[in-house]
């Protein structure tokens, strides 16, 4: 990361949403176990989930033994969000997230969300948590399939005329690092989301900064 140790060195901060700002990991573990109940006897706790979760979601399902021949990905997605959309309002932001958003805003950083989630759902949650005013742009998907964010990231870079060297992507998975690499920006990964610190550190080596909690980025 060229010696840069904090997002305060950047003019543009591109946030992932799920697991990075929104603490929805336990909810996702609970729903995964509901889906697993119809496929095998495996049950995940939070630690095990964070060792196997990843993108594409189809590969993650295969890894935990969900048979996509027995039940289609679209059917699983519908079941997942039938529960998720009701329960997510009981989740919270990660400790320090709102304070950090405020610090960045007060130092004239431009902030964006780049998410693999359904954009309209994220917009509703930003209103629910009263943090919508921190963001200059929201880039999300028009479906619930949690596909790659690379194209949306490139679109954001072009639309906002962002100079990649002036931007950082803050996320919680190795896919966020892959997206950052693809769009040419630096990356900071937070290890209290959907993947473990061990996985993140092993996956990025010295190419990105990994912190344990979002509060570590507070100035």
105: domain CATH number is 3.40.50.1000
Q: Which of 90, 124, 144 is the last residue of a domain?
A: 90
Identify the domain containing residue 67 by its residue range.
Answer: 25-90
Tell me the whole-structure pTM to 2 decimals. Answer: 0.93
Determine contact, residues 37/54, Cβ cutoff 8 Å. Answer: no
- Residues 98 and 168 reside in one and the same domain: yes
163 is a domain residue: yes
> Of 135, 146, 160, 145, whose CA–CA distance to 15 is shortest?
135
Domain count, the chain: 2
Peptide bond into 90 cis (omega under 30): no
Which pLDDT belongs to residue 30? 97
Per-residue pLDDT of the chain (219 residues; tens, 9 = 90+): 433 445 578 999 999 999 999 999 999 999 999 999 989 888 999 999 999 999 999 999 999 999 898 889 999 999 999 999 999 999 999 999 999 999 999 999 999 999 988 899 999 999 999 999 999 999 987 755 555 689 999 999 999 999 999 999 999 999 999 999 999 999 999 999 999 999 999 999 999 999 999 999 987
Which pLDDT belongs to residue 204? 98
Token pair for residue 139? 């880039």
Within 8 A by CB and 6+ apart from 212, the residues are 190, 191, 192, 197
Sheet holding 137-141, edge to edge: 137-141, 110-118, 12-15, 167-171, 186-190, 209-211
Within 8 A by CB and 6+ apart from 82, the residues are none
Q: Which of 70, 90, 110 is the last residue of a domain?
A: 90
118 phi and psi, to 5 degrees?
-65, 120
160 is a domain residue: yes
Token pair for residue 216? 């570590």
- Residues 123 and 197 reside in one and the same domain: yes
1 is a domain residue: no
């Amino acid at each position: 990361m060229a010696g840069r140790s904090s997002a305060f060195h950047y003019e543009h901060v591109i946030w992932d949403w799920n697991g990075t700002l929104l603490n929805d990991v336990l909810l996702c573990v609970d729903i995964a176990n509901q889906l697993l109940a119809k496929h095998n006897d495996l049950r995940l706790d939070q630690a095990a989930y964070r060792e196997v979760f990843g993108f594409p979601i189809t590969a993650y399902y295969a890894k935990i033994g969900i048979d996509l021949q027995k039940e289609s990905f679209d059917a699983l997605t519908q079941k997942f969000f039938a529960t998720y959309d009701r329960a997510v309002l009981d989740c919270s932001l990660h400790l320090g997230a709102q304070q950090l958003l405020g610090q960045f805003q007060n130092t004239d950083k431009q902030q964006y969300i780049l998410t693999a989630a359904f954009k309209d759902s994220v917009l509703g949650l930003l209103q629910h948590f009263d943090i919508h005013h921190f963001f200059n742009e929201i880039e999300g998907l028009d479906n619930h399939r949690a596909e790659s964010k690379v194209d949306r990231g490139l679109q954001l870079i072009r639309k906002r005329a962002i100079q990649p060297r002036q931007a950082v992507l803050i996320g919680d998975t190795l896919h966020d690092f892959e997206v950052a690499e693809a769009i040419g920006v630096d990356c900071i990964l937070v290890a209290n989301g959907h993947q473990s610190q061990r996985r993140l550190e092993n996956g990025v080596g010295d190419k990105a900064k990994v912190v344990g909690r979002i509060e570590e980025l507070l100035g």
